[in-house]
Amino acid sequence: MARDDILSKNQTAEAEARTAVQRVLEEKDKKIAAATTEAVNLVKSAETDAQDYYDKSVAKAEGESRLRKQTIIQNGEKNVNSLSGSASAKLDKAVEYLMKGSWGCCMLRPVKMSRVVVAGSRT
């Protein structure tokens, strides 16, 4: 009976060892699955954060660009208005000068020209 008893205890120990190994393997698989899920979630979270940062950066750059464009346009309009006013004043002075000066007589009444001189080479 000692031999049957030893054999029975040996078989029981082997069964318990197989069960323990099976439990450890199942725990390992569960831990791997949990770690994989956590890694996927971390990657998704990082992608979301990166997309948010990208969207905010693009919106900020577009706003700055729009503001810079508007400033350039306003400065250009100021320059155009300044040049236009200056040109109008100079035009008025030029007309007044022509009316008062020696050119005024020719400008007010037509003068018949006796001949026309064309400068340049003839071809």
* Token pair listed for 55: 């969207």
In a domain, 7, yes or no: yes
Q: Round the average pLDDT of the chain to a whole number and report it.
A: 85
Number of H-type helices and E-type strands within the chain: 2, 0
For 41-95, how does the pLDDT look when each residue is reduced to its tens digit (9 = 90+)?
A: 999 999 999 999 999 999 999 999 999 999 999 999 999 988 888 888 888 888 8
Q: How many domains does the chain have?
A: 1
What 3-state DSSP class applies to 114? coil
In a domain, 118, yes or no: no
In a domain, 62, yes or no: yes
In a domain, 123, yes or no: no
* Token pair listed for 110: 């037509």
Cβ atoms 99, 107 nearer than 8 A: yes
| Domain carrying residue 60 | 2-108
Q: What is the pTM of this model?
A: 0.50
In a domain, 113, yes or no: no
The string of DSSP letters for 12-45 reads HHHHHHHHHHHHHHHHHHHHHHHHHHHHHHHHHH
